[in-house]
Amino acid sequence: MHRVNPFETAKKQLDQAAKIADFDPKYIERLKVPDRYVEVSIPVVMDNGEQKIFTGFRSQHNNARGPYKGGTRFFEEVNLDEIRALSFWMSFKNAVVNIPFGGGKGGIIFDPKKVSPAELERITRGYVQKIFHLIGPEVDSPGPDVGAGSQVMDWIMDEYSKLSGKKQFAASTGKSLDQGGSEGREEATGYGGGVILREVLSKNLIQPIKKTIAIQGFGNVGTFLAKSVHELGWRIVALSDSKGGVFNDQGIDLEQAAQHKKATGSLKDLAGTRNITNEELLELDVDILVPAALENVLTAENANRIKAQMIFEMANGPTTPEADEIFNQKKKIIIPDILANSGGVATSYYEWYQNMHQEKWPVDEVLSKLHTLMVQAFNDVFAVQQKYQTSFRNAAYILGAERIINTIKNKGV
């Protein structure tokens, strides 16, 4: 992964949009700094009886529009700048999709695959104990992200409930169904991306040659986005995970790929495909490229070799500002993360709402509400894009910033 500071990227993106829309600099300066961020030490007794100290973070970027909200990343290379950037993107994402949340994000430096389930539980509960006084259903409700799925969210909710002395299902989102999770949350980010992709394609912004897509990352987001793409009648010719990618010009069978990954732990050597590297996947001659793994994968170094006409950002922050500039010069269409992957947090909002009101919605109701919300978000961004004749990224930032700034203005500084 390239060492670009994602927090600097986030600030540059906002500056660029602010120039176009001529926002009052005093609000832009305010949005460039998170309201608060903490680093905590989490001492944990490991299974062998020895103590290990883990480092965790939580960044609360802005809560003008509602409680801080954002995921939790368990990853051995996570750092404070990444968490601050991710919290910043959450504020804008939540504003773009127009849900009543601000932006937050958290994480712990470790590889969850290298600890036992019991250790994972102790690390998670220890983290909640350290940030307990800063979070809560109406203050900041953590959600899932890379390395932290529904089991982790269940523990966060449970530990928070124990510490506060009452059951509080809305203390986290992305939980399992019997712990207050929402129907539809698991597939939400990929499903929401599919809705946006369909809307984008309906505007005929690109001229697809073979209707082919390459997807980097075959985790939660990549898997469900792939299903949506398949339903749109497009061909997924390449898929990858952290161990590498696979390619088949005729298309990859998703069911077979999922089974192979489950059985062997990676996509490598999937029958009927040839192995490729993650770098090769990004540079394939496809109509649409979907980064759906980690940030900073499209950089000044490889941007000139990217052949896809459209980059559809399902990962958070996959494109550095330098690569963005190159893509814009080459008239590539970039659908930014804060629009493309906002279906996840939108459904987290539905989960939070159901928890707060003790309701349980069926999956059709959740996905139908999500569909309407995503179409609206796309139309709102598209209107700004048309008004300013600018990139979709700038348009999404302008829309998000406008909504946050209006709230700050109206309530007073």
Q: Which residue ranges make up the annotated binding site for substrate?
A: 69, 93, 348
Packed helices 150-164 and 117-131: angle between N→C axes, nearest 10 degrees: 50
The verdict on 316 binding ligand NAD (CB under 6 A) reads: yes
| Residue 32, helix vs strand vs coil | coil
- Single-letter amino acid code for the residue at 244: G
Q: Least distance (Å) from ligand NAD to the CB of residue 240?
A: 5
Q: Least distance (Å) from ligand NAD to the CB of residue 404?
A: 19
| Conformational region of residue 358, where left means phi above 0, alpha means psi within -120 to 50, and beta covers everything else | left
| DSSP labels, 353-411 | HHHHTT----HHHHHHHHHHHHHHHHHHHHHHHHHHT--HHHHHHHHHHHHHHHHHHHH
Between residues 240 and 385, which has the closer beta carbon with respect to ligand NAD?
A: 240
Residue whose tokens read 């220890």 = 126
Token pair recorded at residue 400: 């998000």
The verdict on 240 binding ligand NAD (CB under 6 A) reads: yes
Give the residue from 108, 103, 150 showing the smallest Cα distance to 342. 103
Rule CB under 6 A: choose which of 119, 145, 351, 380 binds ligand NAD: 145
Active-site choice (19, 52, 105, 268)? 105
Using CB atoms within 10 A of its CB, is residue 54 exposed (0-12), middle (13-18) or buried (19+)?
buried
The verdict on 217 binding ligand NAD (CB under 6 A) reads: yes
Region 42-61 residues binding ligand NAD, contact defined as CB under 6 A: none
- Site track for ligand NAD across 293-312, x = CB under 6 A: xx------------------
For 5, list phi and psi in degrees, rounded to 5: -75, 110
Between residues 212 and 341, which has the closer beta carbon with respect to ligand NAD?
A: 341
Region 326-365 residues binding ligand NAD, contact defined as CB under 6 A: 341, 344
The verdict on 315 binding ligand NAD (CB under 6 A) reads: yes
The number of beta carbons lying within 10 Å of the beta carbon of residue 328 is: 15
Active-site residue flag, 11: no
The verdict on 242 binding ligand NAD (CB under 6 A) reads: yes
Which range, of 32-40, 62-70, 194-202, 214-222, touches ligand NAD by CB under 6 A?
Answer: 214-222
- Single-letter amino acid code for the residue at 216: Q
Between residues 27 and 187, which has the closer beta carbon with respect to ligand NAD?
A: 187
Residues in touch with ligand NAD (CB under 6 A): 1, 144-147, 189, 216-222, 240-242, 278, 292-294, 314-316, 341, 344
